[in-house]
Amino acid sequence: MEERKVFLNTHTNLLELEEHMYPLVDVDSPNTFQNLFRYDQIPKIAFNDRIVPHHMPDEIWLTDTTFRDGQQSRAPYTTEQIVTIYDYLHKLGGPNGKIKQSEFFLYSKKDRDAVYKCLEKGYKFPEVTSWIRASKKDFELVKNIGLKETGILVSCSDYHIFYKLKMTRKEALEHYLSVVRECMETGIRPRCHLEDITRSDIYGFVIPFCVELMKLREEYQIPVKVRVCDTLGYGVNYPGAVIPRSIPGIIYGLMTHAGVPSELIEFHGHNDFYKAVNNSTTAWLYGSSGVNCSLFGIGERTGNTPLEAMVFEYAQLRGTLDGMDTTVITELVEYYEKELGYRAPSRTPFVGKNFNVTRAGIHADGMLKNEEIYNIFDTDKFLNRPALVSVSNTSGTAGIAYWINTYYKLPPKRQVDKSSVLVQEIKKWVDKEYEDGRITVLTDDELVAKINNVCGNLHIEL
Ligand SMILES: CC(C)C(=O)C(=O)O
């Protein structure tokens, strides 16, 4: 704790101290942490029980990678689709700009057209930033387009440094610093993507490198962002877990030993071990102001941290949405379905077709008595998705009436009740289905077809 106080009060002095404490460890052969990551075994989570204190920043926010990491793993969006989704992101982030930035490729004309069109909107948030190959020519391109920040790939594990780049750590560090310097010379803010940080030597490479980045920040008086990329999703949030897998440990190291302030730290997760959301929330809790997300978690392999999940994590941590308009999430779901033919798996939280559908008869009965019993929050208010109960042999006329009223979103005056002819007719049909041996619940499509049929025959309008 003493050390933390020093960091907060005399930042610069500590940086001088740290430089000598954590020099670059320029190893001859790669350290791939074979005790943790033997390829023929399931990776291990080791513990040393060193506990890192919470350090949630005063301000936290989301950034978006739907058009970069998201787009890397699916068919490219058209320019129009990008512009429409960008519009939605602007609305979702609200007037306080809680979705602070979104990153765009600049490779093709189509990519650049999308950027121009989004810039034309004139929105302050999400700020349009870029993702480029790190070269002088590309930095000039970023500048000419009028962007202020770009992502630069600075892979930091020995897997990447030795096996992909075929460099030593010293060579990689010098190369990265020269690229970052070149970027800053152009007047562009660099955002350094520390790829594969959860398999890297935190105190032998990452901290010494980030100390140097913070020196460049001082020299150029330009912020340098550090993006903590958990590229293969190895990160864990368990107290006392060992780095490089410990997300709290990495964030603590960056802040305390490399002097990177919260507002310049951003976490980028992947979901290979189902941990993207928890790791992102953990990054917030331990000092990262930003978490980088992708809509519906669409991203490489198992995907990135779903943006919509972090909107609700934000609200749970802060007790407020700070102006974010969560109903836009449902508009985006509908847009992706209609325009892109993309449907999230039905049980996906907040966006799947069945995320708030109660099926079991006894539970459905609870819903009918009071929907708070089996719904996480007022999903109608926040997502325009009223809680639903599915119809089965145990539903009864009340259950069927509830299904019709909620599915068709009927206003109170037009709602049906147990005694309505429509409900009675549907009940007869449902009972017959089960008498004939059915054992599954009725699907929405089946119910809609039957209801249309009954309404047509009886000249009823819903
Ligand atoms: C390519 C890098 C920056 C990345 O997105 C990741 O590490 O997940």
Question: Same domain, yes or no, for 237 and 107?
Answer: yes
Q: Are 154 and 174 in contact (CB under 8 A)?
A: no
Check residue 9 and give its pLDDT: 36
**Ligand 1 atom 6: residue of nearest CA:** 231
| Cα dihedral across residues 195, 198, 204, 208: positive or negative | positive
Check residue 274 and give its pLDDT: 98
Question: Same domain, yes or no, for 282 and 396?
Answer: no
Question: Same domain, yes or no, for 143 and 270?
Answer: yes
- The string of pLDDT tens digits covering residues 326-354 is 999 999 999 999 999 999 999 999 999 99
CA end-to-end distance (rounded Å), the chain: 65
Residue 4 has pLDDT above 50, yes or no: no
Question: Same domain, yes or no, for 163 and 274?
Answer: yes
Query: From ligand 1's centre to the CA of 400, what distance in Å?
Result: 48
346 in a structural domain = no
- Residue 425: phi and psi, rounded to 5, are -65, -40
370 in a structural domain = no
Q: For residues 313 and 326, give the distance between their C-alpha atoms in angstroms, rounded to a whole number.
A: 12
Closest CA to 394 of 431, 425, 421, 449: 431
Look at 225 and 365; give whichever has higher pLDDT: 225
Mean pLDDT value of segment 168-185:
97
426 in a structural domain = yes
Classify each residue of 267-292 as buried b or exposed e, where b means 16 or more C-beta atoms within 10 Å of its C-beta: bbbbbbbebbbbbbbbbbbbbbbbbb
Whether the CB of 268 sits within 6 Å of ligand 1: yes
Question: Same domain, yes or no, for 161 and 291?
Answer: yes
Mean pLDDT value of segment 199-228:
98
Mean pLDDT value of segment 214-231:
98
Whether the CB of 153 sits within 6 Å of ligand 1: yes
Average pLDDT, the chain: 93
Distance of CA 390 to the CA centre of its chain: 30
Domain boundary among 308, 324, 340: 324
Residue 171 has pLDDT above 80, yes or no: yes
Domain boundary among 300, 324, 348: 324
| Cα dihedral across residues 416, 419, 421, 426: positive or negative | positive
36 in a structural domain = no
User: Whole-model pTM?
Assistant: 0.91
Query: From ligand 1's centre to the CA of 235, what distance in Å?
Result: 14
Mean pLDDT value of segment 91-105:
98
Domain of residue 287, residue span:
55-324
11 confidence band (pLDDT: 50, 70, 90): very low
109 in a structural domain = yes
Check residue 10 and give its pLDDT: 38
Ligand 1 test: best mutation among 65, 69, 129, most atoms within 8 Å of CB?
Answer: 69
Question: Same domain, yes or no, for 124 and 258?
Answer: yes
- The string of pLDDT tens digits covering residues 125-141 is 999 999 988 788 899 99
Query: From ligand 1's centre to the CA of 295, what distance in Å?
Result: 16
State the total domains in the chain.
2
- The string of pLDDT tens digits covering residues 370-385 is 889 999 999 999 999 9
Check residue 359 and give its pLDDT: 77
304 in a structural domain = yes
28 in a structural domain = no
Pairing mode, strands 61-64 and 290-293: parallel
Residue 16 has pLDDT above 70, yes or no: no
361 confidence band (pLDDT: 50, 70, 90): low
- The string of pLDDT tens digits covering residues 246-269 is 999 999 999 999 999 999 999 999
Check residue 452 and give its pLDDT: 96
The closest-lying atom of ligand 1 relative to the alpha carbon of residue 69 is: 5
Residue 14 has pLDDT above 90, yes or no: no
Mean pLDDT value of segment 271-292:
98
Check residue 66 and give its pLDDT: 98
113 confidence band (pLDDT: 50, 70, 90): very high
Mean pLDDT value of segment 189-216:
98
Query: From ligand 1's centre to the CA of 304, what distance in Å?
Result: 10
Closest CA to 225 of 256, 185, 258, 269: 258
Tell me if residue 265 falls in helix, strand or coil: strand
Question: Same domain, yes or no, for 79 and 221?
Answer: yes
DSSP classification of residue 198: G
DSSP classification of residue 103: E
Check residue 2 and give its pLDDT: 39
Percent of the chain with pLDDT over 90: 84
Number of H helices, E strands in the chain: 18, 10
Mean pLDDT value of segment 34-45:
98
The closest-lying atom of ligand 1 relative to the alpha carbon of residue 227 is: 3
Look at 321 and 388; give whichever has higher pLDDT: 321
Check residue 259 and give its pLDDT: 97
Residue 13 has pLDDT above 80, yes or no: no
Check residue 20 and give its pLDDT: 62
**Ligand 1 atom 2: residue of nearest CA:** 195
DSSP classification of residue 44: P
Question: Same domain, yes or no, for 292 and 181?
Answer: yes
Check residue 370 and give its pLDDT: 86
Look at 186 and 18; give whichever has higher pLDDT: 186
Question: Same domain, yes or no, for 420 and 280?
Answer: no
Domain boundary among 278, 297, 324: 324
Question: Same domain, yes or no, for 181 and 300?
Answer: yes
Question: Same domain, yes or no, for 402 and 320?
Answer: no
Any idea what the CATH number is for the domain that residue 162 is in? 3.20.20.70
Mean pLDDT value of segment 434-457:
93
7 in a structural domain = no
Which residues are CB-neighbours of 332 under 8 A, at least 6 positions away?
85, 88, 92, 295, 296, 308
Whether the CB of 229 sits within 6 Å of ligand 1: yes
Question: Same domain, yes or no, for 439 and 306?
Answer: no
